[in-house]
Amino acid sequence: ESEVPSFIASKVSQYSCQRKTTLNNYNKKFTDAFEIMAENYEFKENEVFCLEFLRAASVLKFLQFPVTRMKDIQGLPCIGDRVRDVIEEIIEEGESSRTKEVLNDERYKSFKQFTSVFGVGVKTSEKWYRMGLRTLEEVKANRTLKLSKMQKAGLLYYEDLVSCVSKAEADAVSLIVKNTVCMFLPDALVTITGGFRRGKKIGHDIDFLVTSPGLKEDGELLHKGLLLYCDIIESTFVKEQIPSRKVDAMDHFQKCFAILKLYQPRVDNSSNNTSRKFDMAEVKDWKAIRVDLVITPFEQYPYALLGWTGSRQFGRDLRRYATHERKMILDNHALYDRREKIFLKAGSEEEIFAHLGLDYVEPWERNA
């Protein structure tokens, strides 16, 4: 027992890339509340307050014990007054009145419904809310709305898409994607990134990174055929481009936010053979699944892998750490050293951590 280092709150780094955060969360009660608060601020486009709650949630996810007294959080980074108030109330009352208020708030409830549709973000939700729309039923019934192709697909496959993707489904889709990609590109390297690479058992989508040693910039890969919906975004990467300093910047890879049709033979539970034929014709034997496909040049693969593995908070903190602690700029394409004015090459994620002077953090420890 004496081998276990005692916990020192003031030694906890403010950067989640210097903390190892597994899926084992002792403080879900608190972090769920913080995430609701953060989401509400996101809907109000208050980025500062939103990030404050997300950072606090990330710190509590790192703790190896459940917080039960205010003393437990003393000296921890990223715990401001707003956060402290929520913690105090949860400790004393078992729940937070502020969070409850948010959950009952009409605007929050509408935005929550609207943004659950693929292709609908805060901007669109804002527009619909201002038009007086409050529910998805009202959105669907409204004939004057001009929906994007993405939003139409989002509504069409809504039920399938809100039911989460399981690990088994992710594995099944992974086989399909690998086989299909290898028909076009035999030496392709196809990797699952996102939450599944971090060990999550469910996700809202499946993220894939595709590369190959001799990958040329062509759109051959992003073929239709197995895709129900596909929005191909062409690569906008310019060679030797200085990485973007924006913490939540999009990257420039060719990518595809797709919906895939996963056939899954239904288990026939009916013992009645007369109804069987009828059922087989009626029952839908597939599920619509959200898939992100990202195509990356081989040299940028480790950077893309690091960025697309997430978590989102882990990625934000890596970039923040690079900028503020190392005078470097990190994005999904490269790492640029501003003092030396050079790009730091890397052949693996380990090398990127080493360039940044950080201890390596395994994917399953990046659930910040």
Query: Should residue 160 be labelled a site residue for ligand 8DG when binding is judged by CB under 6 A?
Result: no
Active-site residue (options: 105, 231, 292, 337): 292
In the list 42, 169, 207, 349, the residue contacting ligand 8DG (rule: CB under 6 A) is: 207
Residue type, 260: L
The one among 119, 154, 302, 315 contacting ligand 8DG by CB under 6 A: 315
Does position 204 interact with ligand 8DG (CB under 6 A)? The reply is: yes
CA pair distance 269, 264, nearest whole angstrom: 15
Q: Is 201 a binder of ligand 8DG (CB under 6 A)?
A: no
Q: Which stretch binds ligand 8DG (CB under 6 A): 154-162, 272-280, 303-311, 335-343?
A: 303-311
DSSP 8-state secondary structure symbol assigned to residue 21: B
x/- string (CB under 6 A) for ligand 8DG, residues 83-112?
------------------------------
Residue 312 in contact with ligand 8DG, rule: CB under 6 A:
yes
Q: At what angle do helices 106-115 and 28-43 cross, to 10 degrees?
A: 90
**Among Mn ion, ligand 8DG, none, what does residue 302 contact (CB within 5–8 Å per kind)?**
none
Compute the distance between CA of residue 184 and CA of residue 231 in angstroms, rounded to an integer: 19
58 lies in the site for ligand 8DG, by CB under 6 A: no
Q: 3-class SS at 86?
A: helix
Spacing of C-alpha 163 from chain mean position: 16
23 near ligand 8DG (CB under 6 A): no
Residue 302 in the binding site for ligand 8DG (CB under 6 A): no
Cα separations in angstroms, 326 against 88, 312, 322, 337: 36, 20, 5, 8
CB of residue 315 to ligand 8DG, shortest distance in Å: 5
Whether 207 is a known active-site residue: answer yes
Least CB distance from residue 200 to Mn ion, whole Å?
8
- CA dist., res. 77 & res. 80, Å (int): 8
Report the residue from 16, 31, 125, 311 that binds ligand 8DG according to the rule CB under 6 A: 311
Which segments of the chain does DSSP mark as H helices, in order? Answer: 28-43, 47-62, 81-93, 97-104, 106-115, 122-130, 136-141, 149-156, 158-162, 167-184, 194-197, 273-282, 301-309, 312-326, 349-355
By CB under 6 A, tell whether 119 contacts ligand 8DG.
Answer: no
332 contacts ligand 8DG (rule: CB under 6 A): yes
292 is in an annotated binding site: yes
Q: What is the DSSP letter of 265?
A: P
Contact 283, 260 (CB under 8 A): no
Whose CA is closest to 185, among 216, 224, 225, 209? 216
What single-letter amino acid sits at 318? L
- Pick from 195, 243, 302, 363 the residue near ligand 8DG by CB under 6 A: 195
218 tagged catalytic: no
Question: Is 331 annotated for ligand binding?
Answer: no
Q: Which is nearer to Mn ion, 255 or 333 (CB)?
A: 255
Question: If binding means CB under 6 A, how many residues of this protein chain bind ligand 8DG?
Answer: 16
Pick 194 or 243: Cβ nearer ligand 8DG: 194
Residue 34, token pair as written in the block: 């913080």
Phi-psi category of residue 119: left, alpha or beta, with phi > 0 → left and psi -120 to 50 → alpha:
left
Other C-beta atoms closer than 10 Å to the C-beta of 366 total: 25
Whether residue 32 is annotated as binding a ligand: the answer is no
Among candidate residues 160, 205, 251, 317, the one labeled active-site is 205
Residues that bind ligand 8DG (CB under 6 A): 194-195, 200, 203-205, 207, 250-251, 307-308, 310-312, 315, 332
Site for Mn ion, rule CB under 5 A: 194-195, 203, 205, 207, 292
Which residues participate in catalysis according to the annotation?
A: 205, 207, 292
Question: Which residues line the annotated binding site for Mg(2+)?
Answer: 205, 207, 292
